Homo-oligomer: A and B are copies of this chain.
Amino acid sequence: MGTLLRNIRPIVGSVGTISPRFADGIIIDVVDGTTAETREDELIEGHDRLAFSGFTNAHTHLAMVLFRGLADDVALRAWLEDHVWPIERTLRQEDVYWCTLLALAEAIRGGTTCLADMYFHTDAVGRAIEESGLRALISYGIVADSLDAVGRAELTTARRIVERWNGAGDGRIRAAVSPHAVYTCGEDVWREAAALACDLDVPIHTHLAETRGEVDEWRGRTGESPVAYLDRIGALEAPTVAAHCVHVDRADVAILAQRGVNVVHCPKSNAKLGSGIAPIVAMREAGVTVALGTDGAASNNRLDMIEELRAAWMMQRAHAEDPRALSGREAVSMATDAGRSALGMPEGDLTIGAPADIVLVETTGSHMRPQHDPMSALAYAANTGDVTDVVVAGRTLMKDRELLTIDEERVQSEVERLLRRHRA
């Protein structure tokens, strides 16, 4: 009993066609070749499509799809302070719920099976993720200068979110503690947040060294880099997921490697906001796990991991003037395995015992022909539009491009309604 996924072509591992069987969310058998018979309850015909365990979008703010296309060409601080924050202040739980679902529809259509979200109204985020069927690390973004009443309340919310959501959705959902950044949380807040993460045995998820201005200002004021500062105050003791790390020097990279910090590279967001190009080759060489994320849609404007991994190899190669700086295979690995590892999620490969997280990619488009190598096809040629099926923990979230867990039309109209309310 279970499901047979017949005739798929893994992008890594096996050469040729396989037919995995899964039950209770786990792959229980893998048959080689194209002629597997079925005695199972359910059959998914893979049609010789490319298969992998799906992308991990390791840093995003899902509900920010609301701001897609709003003020596209301004710098980070002005964009946050003049455009995003004034609207964010008015958002309700229900708004965040619908916006998160809109983002998840895009994520599933793009072959994402796992992601890390940091936002507020996190109960709404958790509810949307739970319904969607995706895997996610979710967190409440703490912003507080000190441990005054506001700071205490922020930490209480962060604790409550972890207690409520860590392990939810049959274990698909995990929670993190998220002090927003070095420049938005005071030292006491950082210390408490790190202690909370250790106490609850969950990771820290934060923003780190995103812009040159932020790092220069911090160094000018304190004499040390944001990375060195977090290390000195013990904030890197918990497993840490650090988005961006664009402006890190050699000493910072050594700290990141030594502390086992998981870096999330967000090349498109860093490009759009003019933040720069992160030295991910140096980080990888130092042994740092570097995952990939879209950041929020407002600074991207997509949640498209194919565009994101392509942006990663493009910018590293162009910047280094070296076609070997980052291969397509390495970029795909950052967008898949490295992401799962960074978020502490179960490894996804298409072997027995692995979770039944499976994404199918059609290869019939002229842009995918001819095909010399499946990995190359995914890294260099595929579009999100080629993704046809998405399975997470054995549950089918998209079948032949139809979403099964999200009512996309309803979600789109709820977000339009929210916008009309806001404009009125």
Contacts and interface: CB of A to CB of B under 8 A. Distances in A.
Interface of A: 65-66, 68-70, 72-76, 102, 105-106, 109-110, 212, 267-268, 270-277, 300-304, 307, 310-311, 313-315, 317-325, 327-328, 365-367, 369-373, 376-377, 379-381, 383-385, 408, 411-412, 415-416, 419
A373 B318 contact: no
Given A110-B367, A272-B317, A385-B385, 19 more contacts: A68-B369, A69-B376, A69-B377, A69-B380, A70-B372, A73-B324, A74-B324, A75-B323, A212-B321, A274-B317, A274-B318, A275-B321, A307-B307, A311-B314, A315-B315, A366-B408, A369-B415, A370-B416, A383-B384
Nearest to A110: B367
Main secondary structure of the interface of A (DSSP, over half): helix
Nearest to A418: B370
B212 A274 contact: no
Contacts of A212: 321
A369 B301 CA distance: 10
Given A303-B367, A383-B383, A319 B319 contact: yes
Residue of A275, A314, A317 with highest tally of chain B CB at under 10 A: A314
Given A318-B270, A318-B271, A301 B380 contact: yes
Contact of A109 (B70, B302, B366): B366
A73 B327 contact: yes
Sorted from nearest, which 8 A-B pairs have the closest CB atoms?
A: A385-B385, A274-B323, A271-B318, A69-B376, A271-B314, A301-B380, A105-B366, A69-B372
A324 B73 CA distance: 6
